[in-house]
Structure 1
């Protein structure tokens, strides 16, 4: 099992707008193509204006294959264009079970 923790830092106040667009345009295609969204979180302390996605994959190869499919999907590409002005930074970390 491989977990990916993706943290998106957004413009101040951008979290609500990102989630609105995500729920309208991105969530269905992303969960269909990537698979197991374990959780989607917003921090209450520390760095704010962030969304934290935790994804689970069987292995690294599955992640690579699924992300490649996602990056060629026209609906997801439109979603990315819509949220790009809200994005400040993206971080991706991969974790193996200990």
Structure 2
């Protein structure tokens, strides 16, 4: 089991607009390809212009296959264009995590 942990930061004052755009155009297609995330949430304290989502995969091959299918989906490409045109995002940090030996991942 692996987890894809992503943190995105939006320009100040735009996170609500970005979440609305993603909710309408990104969320349905991403869930269709990746399933339900472990968590998808906006940061409430700290960097309040950011949000985090974590997706669970069987292994690196499972992640690669699902993400490739999503990348090839015209609806996902449409969302990426809308997101880029809006210009709300300023940074992205990705981490691949694996459960600790004592954690029942």
TM-score range with shorter-chain normalisation?
over 0.9
The structure that has the greater radius of gyration is 2
Secondary structure, in 3 states, of the residue corresponding to 2:37? strand
Are the aligned partners of 1:5 and 1:54 in contact in 2 as well (CA < 8 Å)? yes
Q: Secondary structure at the match of 2:52?
A: strand
Corresponding residue number in structure 1 for 2:98:
96
Matches of residues 1-98 of structure 1 in structure 2 within 5 Å? 1-84=1-84, 85-98=87-100
Q: Secondary structure at the match of 2:53?
A: strand
Structure 2 gaps of 5+ residues are 101-105
Structure 1 runs (4+) deviating above 4 angstroms are none
Shift of 1:72: 1.1
Normalized per residue, which structure has more strand?
1
Kindly state the Cα deviation for residue 48 of structure 1 after the two structures are TM-superposed: 2.1
Work out the CA distance in 1 between the residues paired with 2:35 and 2:76. 14
- Normalised to the residue count of structure 1, the TM-score between the two structures is 0.94
RMSD (Å), alpha carbons: 1.0
1:36 shift after superposition = 3.2
CA distance in structure 2 between the partners assigned to 1:28 and 1:61 by the alignment: 23
